[in-house]
């Protein structure tokens, strides 16, 4: 009787182990191959940037430091525009302990143009700058992330404005929120130019004008 039971148990064990092995193999293939491929496709098929897009930055007491980068595809804010570099502009937000006061460090890569709060003129930014959060209340900072520059003037660029406001969070606390808004794509975007990576080209100039000033 024992000889008849043991093979049945072994068969069940073999079947269970086979099912588990197949399940593990499917999971590994999905995680290492299928999921990355789906993520790449989803990223490639993502919609182009639109004027009016806003990235909200809200920093809690435990975090206190937030790094935000603007670049082509691998940065936090993806421009998806040809000619833009990865991490071309980096903003680092540092919160004072216990206070709603912030210091923002602006770290420029190549071809960044900047107008500080309260200023009227936009100029090339070659080194780090600092902004205090109180300066942004009612006065936006402006950044131009340029894809091409000629004679120290941006010919193709995306323009962002950084502003701040006080909001009430989920637990009723008053917190400062920063908004990074895409306000301009100059001279425009060719929506039919998406390449295999999901990158778009700027529109061509139709007429000469001094709008880049």
Tokens 């080209």 belong to residue: 201
Low-confidence ranges of the chain (pLDDT < 70): 1-7, 34-45, 205-213
For β-strands 77-78 and 65-71, DSSP reports them as parallel
Class of CATH domain 54-202: mainly beta
Beta carbons within 8 Å of 40's beta carbon, 6+ residues apart: none
d(CA 199, CA 186): 16
Query: What per-residue confidence (pLDDT) applies to 99?
Result: 86
Question: With contact defined as beta carbons under 8 Å apart, do 155 and 148 qualify?
Answer: yes
Question: With contact defined as beta carbons under 8 Å apart, do 106 and 115 qualify?
Answer: no
Query: What per-residue confidence (pLDDT) applies to 190?
Result: 94
For the chain, give every domain's residue range.
Answer: 1-45, 54-202
pTM, entire model? 0.77
Query: What per-residue confidence (pLDDT) applies to 128?
Result: 98
Query: What per-residue confidence (pLDDT) applies to 206?
Result: 53
Q: Hey, what are 193's tokens?
A: 């130019």
Indicate the SS3 state at residue 41. helix
Provide the greatest CA pair distance for the chain: 96
Q: Hey, what are 153's tokens?
A: 């003037």
CA Rg, the chain, in Å?
Answer: 25
Q: Which residues of 119-135 are buried (b: 16+ CB within 10 A; e: fewer)?
A: eeebeebeeeeebebeb
The HSE-up count of residue 157 (CA atoms within 13 Å, CB side) is 25
């Amino acid at each position: 009787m024992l000889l008849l039971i043991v093979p049945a148990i072994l068969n069940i064990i073999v079947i269970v182990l086979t099912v588990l092995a197949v399940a593990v193999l499917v999971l590994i293939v999905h995680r290492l191959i299928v999921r990355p491929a789906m993520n790449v496709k989803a990223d490639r098929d993502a919609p182009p940037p639109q004027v009016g897009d806003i990235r909200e930055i809200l920093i809690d007491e435990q975090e206190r430091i937030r790094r935000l980068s603007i670049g082509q595809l691998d940065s936090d804010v993806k421009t998806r525009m040809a000619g833009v570099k990865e991490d071309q502009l980096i903003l680092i937000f540092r919160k004072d302990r216990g206070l709603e006061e912030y210091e923002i460090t602006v770290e420029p890569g190549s071809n960044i143009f900047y107008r500080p709060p309260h200023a009227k003129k936009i100029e090339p930014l070659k080194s780090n700058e600092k902004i205090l959060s109180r300066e942004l209340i009612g006065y936006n900072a402006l950044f131009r992330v340029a894809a091409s520059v000629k004679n120290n003037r941006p010919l193709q660029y995306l323009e962002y404005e950084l502003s701040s406001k006080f909001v009430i969070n989920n637990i009723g606390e008053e917190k400062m929120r920063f908004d990074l808004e895409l306000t301009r794509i100059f001279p425009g975007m060719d929506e039919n130019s998406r390449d295999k990576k999901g990158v778009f080209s700027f529109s061509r100039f139709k007429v000469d004008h001094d709008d880049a000033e």
